[in-house]
Structure 1
Amino acid sequence: MIIIKSRTEIDFMRKAGKVVAQTHDKIKKSIRPGITTLELDRIAEECILKLGAIPAFKGYNGFPASICTSINHQVVHGIPSSISLEEGDIVSVDIGAILDGFVGDSAKTYPVGQVDDEAKRLIEVTKNSFYNGIKHAINGNRLSDISNAIQTTVENQGFSIVVDYVGHGIGRQMHEDPPIPNFGKPGRGPRLQEGMVLAIEPMVNQGTYEVDTLQDNWTVVTIDGKLSAHYEHTIAINYEGPPEILTIL
């Protein structure tokens, strides 16, 4: 069942989203060669708590950290560790925060120092696919109109879209209906309406779309060892016009 949010509830979600956005801003300024992802986790948790929220991921289904940090060929759900980031790496950082009972969720892929042109292009195409997707996140459209626009953007640039992991509805719970694939034909799925709040999150691979999960039962990786990027925001469908992105400053 898709839960339609009232304007008051979206106000609460906007506040949770601001916490996530501020934490991303802090993380972006902290990423550099030599820093560990465990240190990034500490910085993010301190920021979330200081802003009066709590980390949404910590303890969620047993996840041991406050953020997900996925390096290079890691797609999603990477666990922060004592491994240091190196010049030329890319790192996807997924951040969730709960404030006043509502969840904000956003992910971005960051370069570490100077990265090569193909890594830059992967990051940019992943971001662009999100923004092309939400052009279709309009009251009255179908959910798969978003999905198709994301897939088309990615595949037209020679990359592949991950099919094993998808976006989701969000609200008082991290994962609500509907699941939101980043692929598929347009004109399918539930009709979008005012008050839907969705976490749209393309995951894009440099090579094959196929992925595997490491023995930690969390970290998802590309099976060919090529790079992957992730971009996500929480959005609210409006009665008229484009959606509101809730996880930006």
Structure 2
Amino acid sequence: MSVDLRVLVTGVSRSVGIAATVAGDLAARGWRVAGAGWPDHDAEQPWGRGEPAATDALASWRAVDLADPEAPAALVALAVEDLGGLDAVVAVHARSAAGDVMKVEAGELDACFAVNTRASLLLAREALAVGARRVVLFTTGVHQRPMPDEIAYAASKAALQGVTASLATTAAALGATVNCVNPGPVDTGYADDATRGWVAERMPRGRWGTPGDVAPVVAWLLSEDAGWVTGQTLDADGGWGVRP
């Protein structure tokens, strides 16, 4: 990896989000960070836009709709321009969607696959093409337990998690690693009080995860120490997936 430590982090929109914390943590560790987010998606959700992520520590930040099939290539090109190259990409962005299979519409399925699966794969491809040596993707816990009430979101994240090893095989020939993180339930302000209590009671450590629990995991995956780890899904979820 380059000593310049240049990374693109997607999903940076709300200050309480995982991506904002990851971006800030990497910047504090000496990485030059190009951030991207799409606050308009948050505005459509029950939690709303919220407090915008602080971007002062980042080299750049752009609003980008990753539902656009041309957006990943354009975003990577802009990151290279901003940073003078690219050593890593961390695809934290996600499109959320509620509804089980009896209620979901084709348009929502298409949108979730476009943003959560296609965009992440294209970001990885474009980053590898310009010399990045670390790719970190984000999934959810659907590979551990069913998520019937979020079928579009779960299906698109399951596809991304399921293809991580295949992507890593191609990346290995380029001297790069690809891994996937499942952060489990992380309190980013989206849950109501009842859900927050229900989850906390069942977490092995009695609390939700925080973005600050996730950021060091990402930093390690980007480090030289993790150079022998690839094609893996890390369930850094506080034990949520193995709870009784």
TM over 0.5: same fold? no
Report the structure, 1 or 2, having the larger helix content.
Answer: 2
**Structure of higher RCO (CA pairs closer than 8 Å, 6+ residues apart):** 1
Report the structure, 1 or 2, having the larger strand content.
Answer: 1
TM-score w.r.t. length of structure 2: 0.29
